[in-house]
A and B are shown apart, each in its own frame.
Chain A
C-alpha cells in the first residue's frame, strides 16, 4: 500500500487563494507579517498588487479589511489563529461581524499542533470566540481537498467567514474527483450504528483510524467530518444521535465553547436519550513539544478517541 499523502491545510489555503485570485479580480489578501507561514505568500507571488502586508498589527488589519469589504472587494485577512481570533477579537466583532461585512478570515496555526512555539501560540479558543459572533461562519477543514474547496465556498458566500487551518501536514482523506463542499453540511465518511464520532480538522483522520480500532472490538462507529462548526449541521447530528445514541466529539480546541458544546446544545434541546463525550483540550493550556507528541499527550489521537468511544459502550 502506498504511503498516504500529507499536506498542511495552510498550504491548501495559499494554493486556493492563488487559484481564486486568477479568477476574481476583487479578491485581495491582507497579512500581518506572517505571509510565509500563513502561505498567503503563495498568492503574493502571483498577485503582488493585491497582497497587502499590514505589519504586526492584527487589530488594524481586521478593520482595514472591513473598510475594503465595504467598497465591494473580497478581502481575505490572515494571521495565526491566536492573533486573528484572539488579539483581534474585538475588531472582528465590531468592524466585521456587527456590520456583517464580506471579510474572510484565514487563520492558520490553530490548535495545539502548533507544537514547539508553546501555549502562547496554541490557540484552542478560536471556535468559541468566533462562534459567539452573530452571522459568523466558522469552519475547519480536515484535509487538503476539503480546505481548498472551503476557501472557494468562503469566497462565494456573502458575509463574514472564519476558517481555521493547521500548521502540520495531515493525511489527505478525500478524493479530489467528484468532491463537493457546502457550508453548513457535514459529511458521513464511514457509516456505523453503535457510536458516532463527530470530528473536525485534523481529528477527522484520527476519528477514521479510531473507527478502525473500534471495528476490531466489534463496535460499529460512524465517522462524521464536521467541517462547518457554525452553522452546525443539526440534522446530521440529530440523525447520528437517533441512530447511535452515543456521540463522541473530536476537536483540537478547548472542550469549552467549541464543536463539542455545539453538539451538546443541539442534542440536549432535542431531548434525545443520547450520551455525549467531548474529546478536546481540557480546561488547560498547552506547552512546547513536537506536534505529534503533543497531540498524543493531550489525547487528540485515534487511540484516545477509541478509548473514549469504547468506554461509552458500557
Chain B
C-alpha cells in the first residue's frame, strides 16, 4: 500500500466517522460505538476491497457485504454515501419516518445494502447462502460479512460457521469486530466469547488476527483471504469501541446512545481536526 493510498483511506475513515456522528446526532438515536470501531474496515471495504459500483448497485457479479451486526448501520450508511451510492445529506434522515435509512439495514430501501439485517446472528447465515449460491451459479464474486464480538454469543453464528466450512465456502470472509464491549459491559464479563481465533480455527477457518485500525494489516489480511482456497477465512480485528471520538472510546455506554448538541460539537471538532491534519500531511 502506498503512503498516498493509506492517507486516502484514513481520510475516508475519518469522514465515515463524521457521518456516524452527524447521523446519530440528527436521529437522536442509533449506535455510534460499534460504527466507529468498524469505520476503518468500512473505509477499506468500500474504497479498496469490494468490487461494487454505485452506478449499478445491483450488478449481478458484484461482491456482497452483509452487515451481520446490523445495528452499526450508521457506519455502513456513511461509507455507502461517501462511495456515492446515495447523497451524503441522506445521513441526516437516519431513523426518520420516510427515510430509506432504517435503524437497521434494509436491502429493499437503501442502494448498496445487500441484505436486511439487525437481528444478530442471522446475517452471517445469509452470507453463507450467498457464497453457496455464487458457487452454484458459477458467479465470480466474494462475500464479506461483519459480526460483533458480542454477536458471536448467538448460537446461530456457530451453525453458520459449521456450514461455511462444510461447504468449503472459500469465497466467504467473516470479519469479527473485537471491540470488547457490548451493551451490558465488557464481553468477557457478560458472556465470554474468548478465545475467538482458536474457536474459529476449530471450526475449520483460516484466520488472521489484526489491529482493525491499521490499514496495512487490513490489506495483508485481505490479501490472505483472496489467496486461501478450500476453506473459509475469518479476520478477527482488535478495535476500540467509539474510536476517533475521545469521550466515546472504550465506553460501553456509547453502544446505542446518540450525542447531544454539546457532545456532537465536541466530536465533530475532534474529527475535523483529525481530518485537517490528515489532509495537511
Contact = CB atoms under 8 A, between A and B. Distances in A.
A50 interface: yes
A238 interface: no
A236 interface: no
B69 to A, nearest CB: 14
A239 interface: no
A292 interface: no
Contact of B129 (A55, A65, A94): A65
A73 B107 contact: no
Nearest to A56: B159
B86 interface: no
Contacts of B106: 98-99
A99 B107 contact: yes
Given A64-B125, A71-B130, A73-B137, A57 B162 contact: yes
Contacts, number: 108
A71 B137 contact: yes
Interface string B85-129: 000000000000000000000111000001110110111011111
A75 B162 CA distance: 20
B60 interface: yes
A64 B128 contact: yes
A209 B176 CA distance: 60
A63 B136 contact: no
B133 A63 contact: no
Interface centre among B114, B133, B139, B167 (most CB of A within 10 A): B133
B116 A94 contact: yes
A59 B124 CA distance: 12
Contacts of B131: 67
Contacts of B133: 28, 67-68, 70-73
Interface string A55-95: 10101101111111111110100000000000000110011
B146 interface: no
B221 to A, nearest CB: 23
Contacts of B123: 63
A298 interface: no
A73 B159 CA distance: 22
A157 to B, nearest CB: 18
Contacts of A64: 125-126, 128-129, 132, 160, 163
B266 interface: no
Given A68-B136, A72-B60, 7 more contacts: A57-B159, A59-B156, A60-B125, A67-B133, A71-B137, A73-B137, A75-B129
28 contacts: A52-B132, A59-B122, A60-B159, A62-B125, A63-B125, A63-B160, A64-B126, A64-B160, A64-B163, A66-B129, A67-B128, A67-B129, A67-B132, A67-B133, A68-B130, A68-B132, A70-B107, A70-B114, A70-B115, A70-B129, A70-B130, A71-B130, A71-B139, A94-B119, A94-B122, A95-B115, A95-B122, A99-B116
